[in-house]
Chains A and B, each alone.
Chain A
Amino acid sequence: MNLEALPWLILFLPLLAAGIITLFTLHHQAVSATLSIGAICAGFVLTLALIKFGGWDAREVSVHWLAVGGFNVNFGLKLDALSLMMLLIVTGVGSVIHIFAYGYMRGDSGFSRFFACMSLFTFSMLGIVLATDFLQLFIAWELVGLSSYLLIGFWFEKPSAADAAKKAFITNRLGDFGFILGILTLWFWCSSLNFTDISHGLVDWKGPHWFLTGAGLLIFCGAVGKSAQFPLHVWLPDAMEGPTPVSALIHAATMVAAGVYMLCRVFFIFTPEALTVIAWIGGFTALLAALIAVQQNDIKRILAYSTLSQLGYMVMAVGLGGPTPAMFHLTTHAFFKALLFLGAGSVIIALHHEQDIWKMGGLRKKMPVTFWTFLVATLALCGVPPFSGFYSKDAILAQALHAHNYALFAIAAFVAVLTTFYMFRLFFVAFLGEPKASAAEHAHESPGVMIWPLRILAVASIVGGLIGISELFNSLFVGAAAENAGPANVFTQLIEPFQHTPVAAFGGLIAVVIGFLAAKALYTKAKNDPLPAKLGALSRAMANRFYFDEIYKATVIRLHDTIAAIADWIDRWIVEGFCIGLVRGGTDLTGRALRLVQTGNLQTYAFLFVLGVAVVLWFVLGR
């Protein structure tokens, strides 16, 4: 088997599936699903083969796509530890979610369309992962935006879904606006779009330092949009209008993480000042989203804000100079957050599309697999050892200490408290206690096609922290020096954080304990939320997402609308009405004036005729 062809196959199989489904098999649901699932599962197997036979070494191939003057675009594939690991995540987690979706979407009238869009998404996401240059990245970036738009608006007849899709697309475009400006700037300086060339070109950068900072921040704008960081975070919670597998794949595990991936991929362009800004935006987003999550009642929205908060962690880690912990957390997060969403999807289906956690409860006996796997994911997200989330979160906390940024460490630790609190609030209310509505009383466990994915992801969530993912990324970002540490046995890995960075590890543990005890005290027996009474206005602000949507509507959107209205008014009344009206009226008036000359009176005509002859004679002869 030719190894060169493998990555191309992995990339293009999903596109092929999407094309075939759209063109030919829209009316054959089983075939469509098979094609789509087959494409991504094949991608996973091929990725494993690629790593088995090709190793983790960095290599790059590309073909010319377009060349006009100094504008050269290549279509290439970049393979290194970063992209190969990301390939594994996208195809691996993606396969599991695709299979789950086969059960979840059964009976939907747009079944084939759903899988076509999912395959289109997979292709675009793999395009981001494998991109060798900025423009290719940007193209795939836009395409994931498109697939996200199509899938959020999958149930387009629902006005809320259609609005959410539009909002997601346009908000992402706001981030892309900065992104493309950053790309243009870098291209102009380095005369290349290729990551490697730019990294070489910037080594002997002679221009003003703040230029580079500015370019880095413009590039970061792209990540702000795609990874839903403050101030463009508003689209992600609304994106939950899409089907739950979409939320799991796109809005939890892969696409939203693309921003973090991109930051790690082009880590070399960021100056210390830019990194500081990135770290604080990430930290602030983590805090903001965690606070909002505390007072949400929709199961998917709680998870969505949790995703925001965790993405904030990752971005913060990048900003603190640690792409390794960021990618590590991205990986483990992909496992357990996908699991959480699929678990939520399983519950939602069992409860006939009920999403309010206060109408659930008592699901432990009725849905045992969903219950236990959800618990595993919750523990992993909260950061309980030995679940995967503990190690990755610990790495981020340790990075904050390592960078001597104690303010962000404090924020991160506080967010860890909040995370445990809102997750166990969700867990206690939705899964334990008495059934709070009739639908919850009659819930059944989901079919095998849906619960096997949960089991697989649960295993990944448990062991994800111990299988050397962190070391792999470290070898890439830190260099060969770290590679020689040698493989550690499982036990040393298990306790490694406590030896290596005890402050961070114990800090994280204490945060979990505090959050858990608070949630236990408040919610184990609660019939409704006791928090609003205790917190008052703060609770209302949290529940209303700190009024960001309202603020944007009143400022940015209204401003743009007003400008548009003014432009329209000018067009209607000044250009169309006044200017053209003036020309038209002027012509009309001239016509009317000239009409007066045409009297129809023969004597006048004769007189004018003679006058004319006289004038001509005077010109010809008289002068």
Chain B
Amino acid sequence: MTILTLIFLLPILAAIALAFVPRNFAVIMRAVAVGVTFVTMLLAVQMFWQFNGAPADEHGYKFVGTIPGLGAESLGIACKFGVDGLNVGLVLMGAIVAFAAACCAFEIQSREKEFYLLLLTMTGGILGAFMSLDLFFFYFLHELALVPTFIMIGVWGRGERRNYATFQITLYLSFGALLALIGLIALYLQMPADARTFAIPALTQYFAAHTMALGAQNFIFPLLLFGFGILVSLWPFHSWAALGYSSAPSATAMLHAGVLKKFGLYGLIRVALPMMPEATQGWMTLLAWLCLGNILYVGWVAIRQKDLNLLYGNSSVAHMGFVFLGIASLNLVGVTGAVLIMVAHGFLAALTFGLSGFIYHHTGTLVMCELGGLARRMRFIGTAFVMAAMAGCGLPGFLNFWGEITVFFGAWTEPALRAVVVLAIWGALIIGAVYMLRAVRTVMHGPSDEARAYAPNVADATLWRKLPYALLIASLLVFGFFPRLLTEKIKPVTEQIVSLATAVRTAPDSAPAIIAEVPGAPAAPLRTAANP
């Protein structure tokens, strides 16, 4: 039993245990959820702390452990967990966000049992998906976390368009996940029949040595790109996100926008890039231009929103564009920056949706023109709100800044991406500032209107309620001041992934030699430089 299996099992077992608690004991449900996520978070912090000193296995993964009994040996499936620099930050972020989400779930007043059960399932599922070294569990655990999202929005969601939002997010994400699943199965089938396995390290190693057929790559890669892309709200498949988040209960929005959404990006970096370099190189130009759809277009859409949550939802979609830009740059600096943003945005998205949930709880509305001057009586929340806005427009001091700036520097070194970078910087510096400051101006600043119906209810957070926000802001600041805590861990992995993804394996002379190493491998066709 390693620390990782604990991190996964704890929330899952707690969820199962909750099923046996009678539904009258709502306080116990809440205490269990908060307590378990708290312990999970402590474990994740400890794991992050010990990461540098821990021994690594031959693929560079640390804390590797399996849960015996789960999986199917004959199919090459095993429930195996491990972390390297790529996912260690994500696991830490996910655990912190899960605890913050559990704290912010106080607004749930009905069917607490089911809610907390689903919340714990979601937590365990997504943390497991990030840690999984097995393609099957990687996918399965993500689905385990995804399905509760739909139920939570449908049952505990808010607003008139709740049902529509539930339908749309369910269908959209299921479709995306389905595309990715087809891609992953096709990937699995590319292995020779006797060596088939779902183990990610083995797959990576195999496809590093044996180039996948170009036809297969060009079939599988777009499936993964757009399947994962839909899960990450890649433009133009983004319209589920803002609506879904605005209708979701805040804990769900925090976990989904913060943590679950990073799954697609993680999958792209972990699976698609290193295993299919030729297709990757061919598709990255398109991805770079699509990311402008996120950054500019969705940014502009965010400027026009009248509902705070729709604004935050669109802003979260816009931020994904920077990650895509980092991936599209396909170099060490850019991809490292992309991972930094993934972590940073997790904290930020959780913070924003947590704050909007708090405001909604006190005012009963998130329509911005009905709010105003809240900072006078919500001092702490007002401060956190301004900090979230500043982190959202990439202000130094917050981790988001390092992510964005690293992506820009990385992408700038690719001459083909210069124009994209210029526009993306416009999106980061100007558009981001416009919508974020607009939110601050209308919601927090200005005169407070005592005539409003909600005015008597407006009060600042109590010490206990402050905790999740303080924790998320502190995380952003700590990594914002000491980005090396993350980059030093991420760098070796991204370096390896980038070198795999950018490998030019065109020399016809050496190709047969590689094939000769493994008998029974499908003959790799000769190919030229991979830009179609």
Partner of B447, one of A67, A68, A157: A157
Contact with A along B396-418 (1 / 0, CB 8 A): 11000110011011101100000
Return the CB mask of A162-193 against B: 1 if under 8 Å, else 0.
Answer: 11011001100110110011001001100000
Whether a CB of chain B sits under 8 angstroms from the CB of A496 is no
Do the beta carbons of A580 and B446 come within 8 Å of each other? no
A546-584 interface code vs B (CB 8 A; 1 in, 0 out): 000000000000001101111110110001100110000
Contact, CB under 8 Å: A157 / B445: yes
What residues on A are CB-neighbors of B406 within 8 Å? 66, 68, 71
Cβ of B429 and Cβ of A68 under 8 Å apart?
A: no
Indicate if the CB atoms of A580 and B239 lie closer than 8 Å.
Answer: yes
**What 0/1 readout, one digit per residue, does chain B (425-456) give for beta carbons within 8 Å of chain A?**
11001100110011011001111100000000
Q: Is the interface of A mostly helix, strand, loop or mixed?
A: helix
Q: CB distance A139 to B396 under 8 Å?
A: yes
B168 within 8 A of A: yes
Q: Does residue B491 face the partner (Cβ distance < 8 Å to A)?
A: yes
Q: Let me know if A66 and B445 touch, CB within 8 A.
A: no
Q: Is A156 an interface residue (CB 8 A)?
A: yes
Residue of A nearest to B483 (CB): A66
A395 to B171, CA, bound (A): 72
Q: Which residue of A lies closest to B435 (CB)?
A: A564
Least CB distance from A271 to B in Å reads 22
Whether A166 touches B395, Cβ cut-off 8 Å, given contacts A156-B444, A159-B446, is no
CB–CB B487/A575 < 8 A: no
Q: A71-B333, A173-B429, A173-B433 are in contact. Are A187 and B409 (CB under 8 A)?
A: yes
Decide: A163 and B441 in contact? CB cutoff 8 A. Answer: yes
A65 near B: Cβ within 8 Å? yes
Residue pair A71, B410 in contact (C-beta under 8 Å) = yes
Is B220 close to A, CB under 8 A?
no
Q: How many residues on chain B are close to A (CB under 8 Å)?
A: 54
A153 at interface, CB cutoff 8 A: yes
Option from A64, A66, A560 in Cβ contact (under 8 Å) with B402: A66
Min Cβ gap A173→B in Å is: 5
Known: A68-B406, A156-B375, A567-B301. A180 touches B446 (CB 8 A): no
User: 1/0 per residue B166-196: CB within 8 Å of A?
Assistant: 0010000000000000000000000000000
What CA separation (Å) do A166 and B438 show in the bound complex?
8
Hey, what's the 0/1 contact readout for B237-274 against A, CB within 8 Å counting as 1? 00100000000000000000000000000000000000
- A69 on the interface (CB 8 Å rule)? yes
Q: Contact: B445 with A153, CB < 8 Å? A: yes
**Which residues of A are found within 8 Å of B397, using beta-carbon distances?**
139, 143
Name the CB-closest residue of A to B442. Answer: A162
Task: Please name the residue on chain A nearest to B397 by beta carbon.
Answer: A143
Let me know if A568 and B239 touch, CB within 8 A: no
Our pick among B331, B336, B337, B434 for the contact of A170 (Cβ within 8 Å) is B434
Q: Check A188–B304 contact: CB distance below 8 A.
A: no
**Cα-based distance from A463 to B450 in the complex (angstroms):** 54
**Residue B390 contacts which of A71, A146, A187, A576 (CB distance < 8 angstroms)?**
A146
Q: Is the CB of A184 within 8 A of B408?
A: yes
The docked-state distance in angstroms from the alpha carbon of A159 to that of B433 is 18
CA distance A166 to B425 in the complex (A): 19
B332 engages A69 (CB within 8 Å): yes
Determine how close the nearest CB of chain B comes to the CB of A468; give it in whole angstroms.
36
Known contacts A157-B447, A180-B429, A575-B239; is-contact A71 B409 (Cβ 8 Å): yes
**A570 to B332 Cα, complex, angstroms:** 36
Kindly list chain A residues whose C-beta atoms are within 8 Å of the C-beta of B236.
Answer: 575, 579
Report A306-335 CB contacts with B as 1/0, cut-off 8 Å: 000000000000000000000000000000
A519 to B313, CA, bound (A): 58
Q: What are the residues of chain B within 8 A of A79 when measuring CB–CB?
A: none
Measured CB to CB, the closest approach of chain B to A4, in angstroms, equals 21
Select from chain A the residue with minimum beta-carbon distance to B236: A575
Residue of B nearest to A163 (CB): B441
Q: In A40-78, which residues have CB < 8 Å from any B CB?
A: 64-71
Considering residues A68, A181, A571, which has the most beta carbons from chain B within 10 angstroms of its beta carbon?
A68
A571 to B297: give the CA distance in the assembly, Å.
9
**In contact, B239 and A571 (Cβ under 8 angstroms):** yes
Asked whether A568 lies within 8 Å of B441 as measured between CB atoms, the reply is: no
Query: Who on chain A is nearest to B314 by CB?
Result: A571
Bound-state CA distance A52–B451 (Å) is 61
Once the chains bind, are A169 and B168 in contact (CB under 8 Å)?
Answer: no
Docked-complex contact A69 and B430, CB < 8 angstroms: no
Q: How far is the CA of A163 from the CA of B386 in the complex (A)?
A: 15
In the complex, which residues 128-169 of chain A have their Cβ closer than 8 Å to any Cβ of chain B? 135, 138-140, 142-143, 146, 150, 153, 156-159, 162-163, 165-166, 169
Check if B429 sits within 8 Å of A176, measured CB to CB.
yes
Q: Chain A: which residue is nearest B498 at the CB level?
A: A69
In the bound assembly, the distance between CA atoms of A184 and B424 in angstroms comes to: 13
Q: Could you list which residues of chain B lie within 8 angstroms of chain A, going by C-beta atoms?
A: 168, 236, 239, 297-298, 300-301, 303-305, 331-333, 336-337, 373, 375-376, 386, 390, 393, 395-397, 401-402, 405-406, 408-410, 412-413, 421-422, 425-426, 429-430, 433-434, 437-438, 440-441, 444-448, 483-484, 487, 491
Name 25 interchain pairs, CB-CB below 8 A, sorted by A: A68-B332, A68-B336, A69-B410, A71-B409, A142-B395, A150-B386, A156-B444, A159-B446, A162-B441, A165-B445, A166-B440, A169-B433, A170-B434, A173-B393, A176-B429, A180-B408, A181-B422, A563-B300, A566-B300, A567-B304, A568-B305, A571-B239, A575-B239, A580-B168, A580-B239
The 9 tightest CB contacts between A and B, nearest first, are A162-B445, A567-B300, A568-B304, A139-B396, A564-B300, A69-B332, A156-B445, A564-B303, A69-B333
Given contacts A174-B430, A187-B412, 9 further A-B pairs with CB under 8 A are A64-B484, A66-B406, A173-B429, A173-B433, A177-B425, A180-B429, A184-B409, A567-B304, A579-B236
